[in-house]
Chain A
């Protein structure tokens, strides 16, 4: 399995997550998957609905999930994963992340240190555990070729 993300999507993630700092922020990742090649080409920002502690938790409203699936179906895309920030914490999944993890999805976790995105990693659930998946960043020229 190979996973790629467009540079402009990663830039949008950075802008979104840095603006939300020191709170956690989150959204959906969409794109296409052909056989074992996954390419992330779109994102949907969603509101963090956590009523607990938004500096340490994120929750996505089920209705936002429904909207993301509908958007994917309408645009001929596939819902490929979730992104969220770990403000002033490493880009490593927590026990809480694991508790809610779904198979199939790529989980992009981004460390936001003192308001700046300093690390981005992606994980997939395999046999009940998170395994880090390497991803490549597609620049504009590579995007056009696709």
Chain B
């Protein structure tokens, strides 16, 4: 079982749950399972090309999956994934 942490702004699209458990062998499978359970999350995670959105980060534990094998990163029983919105801005 893999646990996926849902950030506060997206919980309303996941039945107000902070965590969702899925069965998956890699990150891509886990996120697909998540969006099949909660389809309303889909446009907030994937872009039009069905790639992970530019401003969405996915962490395995405390590691950015982009520094591993991206969505092909392998998962093992008990792993925790976090979906994290990129937070940034500026005055101009």
Q: Bound complex: CA of A36 vs CA of B85, how far in Å?
A: 23
Size of interface on A: residues with Cβ below 8 Å to B: 35
Which of B57, B59, B88 has a CB less than 8 Å from the CB of A96?
Answer: B88
Interface residues on B, range: 20 to 34
What are 24 inter-chain pairs, A to B, with CB distance below 8 A? A26-B89, A50-B90, A56-B90, A58-B88, A58-B89, A60-B87, A60-B88, A62-B57, A62-B64, A62-B84, A63-B62, A65-B85, A66-B5, A66-B62, A69-B5, A69-B7, A82-B87, A85-B91, A94-B90, A96-B89, A100-B85, A100-B86, A101-B89, A103-B12
- Of the candidate stretches A7-15, A71-79, A114-122, A132-140, the one touching chain B is A71-79
B47 to chain A, nearest CB (A): 14
Determine if B37 is an interface residue (Cβ-Cβ < 8 Å): no
Determine if B51 is an interface residue (Cβ-Cβ < 8 Å): no
Asked whether, in the complex, the Cβ of B9 is within 8 Å of the Cβ of A56, the reply is no
B68 to chain A, nearest CB (A): 14
Chain B residues closer than 8 Å to A78, beta-carbon distance: 8
Q: Bound complex: CA of A6 vs CA of B82, how far in Å?
A: 30
Chain B residues closer than 8 Å to A65, beta-carbon distance: 7, 84-85, 87
Where the two chains meet, the residues of A that have a C-beta atom closer than 8 Å to any C-beta of B are 24, 26, 50, 56-60, 62-63, 65-66, 69, 72-73, 78-79, 82, 84-87, 89, 93-94, 96-97, 99-105, 107
